[in-house]
């Protein structure tokens, strides 16, 4: 039966690519689907799959007047987030994966997962999903093919990537494509694995239906495999937003920024400047991932490899992110949010009054005042980037955009000032390598514990973190016009535990200073830790309801806090062992010497 399936796949395939056909046939022989469907990315296909998903209960249609083209999906309660402890980097030796990744030997991983995949698609359809990560035809774009038994995955991949015939056409007869195999299996956490094989450009995901584990173009290819390919090929795959900021004079500056989760990344990418900034414009190139490579003119160019947004919904509203609210107003898939009686969706932090009654994310009745969350804290939206009212015209440019500044930021109640410019590239890499965010009581039971998250890539780097940081240092040689590097922190608190800086749109004031520094327009004040805004020619505070003392507190650098900070970084560098880059260790020694001096 399996060989018949494989033959049928070859005969019906819209490609003659021998490597692709042979691989699909081999995977079909193992998984034994009843049917093989090659996805073409058409509107007719979308309609057919959506109708099927509604029929089988995978999707619930929302009120077409309130949410045109929108649907709700409820995942298994045991399958609501990325599973870092079940995510593996499979390299021939453990050292290549490094101490911050889970490791499995490739042959052992293939053997273990083959037993799970054997016959897992009996009674199901195998969808062949060809997709492009990056604008079609671009030199930085990568092609992937995901085999999946989930129509939910297909519909999400259609939003998140350039999926279908166009990707197959770009691939042609090449054997250079990522091979992704996914099955939801029986959604059993004891049989759930997300395995990456960097040397084979392969990803196998079993036992999950959650986007971060099964939309294989996203974190799996774009970051874990992408970071490995980037080192091999001389570019950077980063967990970064990309935005363009245009001044009233029409000058546009492009910036990439890395923030760990819960630090306002999407809000920053879609920021609306305050009223004092009439004539300024922020446009989104990407909200989550940047692929950056040296351009022929010596600058660093970035593309957003994605075509959509896969964002966290709770806390999103017209105050925090009006552009995101507009983006998810139509043609959006919602996952694990609550359902209102009139067929709309609801989540904690949404605008307006809390409804009296809802159907919660698990499909159960929910009443106002309940101690249970109506929407899961990690509930999601998947929306086309074309919905974004401030989408940059360069978002689909195959050449990408030239990056003038890179920002690193985390959630810190003290120590890190509002904004700081690195002295040079190596110092900037040090700031990125040692960035971190404080945990919250809800997450750990302890407040203020700093979790190091270098470049916001800790869960996503596909090889040894020490080698990754060295790759950042090495990139300096191939970028004659280096971007300037900055560190920001919107989350400094006063002695009463209140946030000092108002954040959201007011972050435009910090962004303007960064742009002015890039363009060489404003002087700075040098400190032991980096350059900061001067009091007389620094941040534009016009119209900001913040006292001079509060601004000084938000921007202050306290030597005793930094001495503690540098000491706490020891644990991270010790973890990297002999692969901790010598240049970064020297940076740390220089900082300690300056503080002790």
Going residue by residue through the chain (597 aa), what tens digit of pLDDT does each one get?
444 444 444 448 999 999 999 999 999 999 999 999 999 999 999 999 999 999 999 999 999 999 999 999 999 999 999 999 999 999 999 999 999 999 999 999 999 999 999 999 999 999 999 999 999 999 999 999 999 999 999 999 999 999 999 999 999 999 999 999 999 999 999 999 999 999 999 999 999 999 999 999 999 999 999 999 999 999 999 999 999 999 999 999 999 999 998 788 999 999 999 999 999 999 999 999 999 999 999 999 999 999 999 999 999 999 999 999 999 999 999 999 999 999 999 999 999 999 999 999 999 999 999 999 999 999 999 999 999 999 999 999 999 999 999 999 999 999 999 999 999 999 999 999 999 898 754 443 465 688 999 999 999 999 999 999 999 999 999 999 999 999 999 999 999 999 999 999 999 999 999 999 999 999 999 999 999 999 888 999 999 999 999 999 999 999 999 999 999 999 999 999 999 999 999 999 999 999 987
For the chain, state the CA radius of gyration. Answer: 24
Q: What is the pTM of this model?
A: 0.96
CA 182/CA 44 separation, integer angstroms:
24
State how far the alpha carbon of 125 is from the alpha carbons of 24, 209, 251, in Å.
13, 15, 51
H/E segment holding residue 565: helix 559-568
CA 387/CA 290 separation, integer angstroms:
20
Q: Which domains are delineated in the chain?
A: 2-59+78-233 (3.40.449.10), 238-304+395-596 (3.90.228.20), 309-387 (2.170.8.10)
CA 315/CA 292 separation, integer angstroms:
30
Catalytic residues: 263
Per the listing, tokens 């009212």 go with 389
Indicate the angle between helix axes 582-596 and 465-474, nearest 10 degrees.
80
Which neighbouring-strand residues pair with 300? 294, 403
- Among 193, 180, 184, residue whose Cα is nearest residue 147: 180
């Amino acid at each position: 039966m399996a060989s018949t399936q494989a033959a049928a796949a070859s005969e019906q395939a819209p490609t003659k690519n021998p490597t692709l056909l042979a691989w699909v046939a081999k995977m079909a022989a193992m998984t034994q689907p009843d049917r093989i469907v090659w996805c073409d990315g058409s509107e007719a296909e979308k309609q057919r799959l959506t109708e099927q998903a509604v029929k089988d209960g995978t999707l619930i249609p929302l009120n077409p007047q309130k949410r045109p083209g929108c649907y709700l999906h409820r995942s298994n309660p045991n399958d609501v987030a990325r599973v870092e402890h079940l995510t593996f980097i499979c390299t021939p030796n453990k050292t290549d994966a490094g101490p911050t990744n889970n490791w499995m030997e490739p042959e052992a991983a293939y053997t273990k997962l083959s037993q799970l995949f054997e016959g897992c698609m009996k009674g199901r359809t195998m969808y062949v999903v060809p997709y492009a990560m990056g604008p079609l035809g671009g030199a930085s774009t990568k092609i992937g093919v995901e085999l999946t038994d989930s129509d939910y995955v297909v519909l999400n991949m259609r939003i998140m990537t350039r999926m279908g015939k166009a990707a197959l056409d770009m691939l042609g007869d090449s054997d250079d494509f990522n091979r992704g195999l996914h099955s939801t299996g029986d959604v059993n956490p004891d049989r759930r694995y997300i395995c990456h094989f960097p040397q084979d450009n392969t990803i196998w995901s079993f036992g999950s239906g959650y986007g971060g584990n099964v939309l294989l173009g996203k974190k799996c290819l774009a970051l874990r495999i992408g970071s490995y390919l980037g080192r091999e090929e001389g570019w950077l795959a980063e967990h970064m937003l990309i935005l363009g900021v245009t001044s009233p004079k029409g000058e546009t500056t492009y910036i990439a920024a890395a923030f760990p989760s819960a630090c306002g990344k999407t809000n920053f990418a879609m920021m609306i400047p305050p009223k004092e900034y009439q004539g300024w414009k922020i446009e989104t190139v990407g909200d989550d991932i940047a692929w950056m490579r040296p351009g022929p003119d010596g600058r660093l160019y970035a593309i957003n490899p994605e075509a959509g947004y896969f964002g966290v919904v709770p806390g999103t509203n017209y105050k925090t992110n009006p552009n995101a609210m507009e983006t998810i107003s139509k043609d959006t898939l919602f996952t694990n949010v609550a359902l209102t009686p009139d067929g709309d969706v609801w989540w904690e932090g949404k605008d307006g009054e809390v409804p009296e009654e809802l159907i919660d994310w698990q499909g159960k009745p929910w009443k106002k005042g309940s101690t249970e969350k109506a929407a899961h804290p990690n509930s999601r939206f998947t929306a086309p980037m074309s919905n974004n009212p401030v989408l940059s015209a360069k978002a689909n440019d195959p050449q990408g955009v030239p990056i003038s500044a890179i920002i690193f930021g985390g959630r810190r109640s003290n120590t890190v000032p509002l904004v700081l410019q690195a002295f040079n590239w190596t110092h900037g890499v040090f700031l990125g390598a040692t960035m971190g965010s404080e945990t919250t009581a809800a997450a750990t039971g302890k407040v203020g514990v700093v979790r190091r998250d270098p470049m916001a890539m800790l869960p996503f780097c596909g090889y040894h973190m020490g080698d990754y940081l060295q790759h950042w240092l090495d990139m300096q040689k191939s970028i004659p016009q280096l971007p300037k590097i900055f560190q920001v922190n919107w989350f400094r608190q006063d002695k009463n535990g209140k946030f000092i800086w108002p954040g959201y749109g007011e972050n435009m004031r910090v962004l303007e200073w960064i742009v002015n520094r890039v363009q060489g327009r404003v002087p700075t004040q040098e400190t032991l830790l980096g350059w900061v805004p001067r009091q007389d020619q620094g941040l534009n505070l016009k119209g900001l309801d913040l006292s001079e003392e509060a601004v000084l507190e938000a921007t202050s650098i306290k030597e005793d806090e930094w001495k503690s900070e540098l000491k706490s970084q020891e644990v991270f560098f010790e973890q990297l062992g002999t692969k901790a880059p010598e240049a970064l260790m020297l940076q740390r020694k220089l900082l300690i010497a300056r503080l002790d001096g």
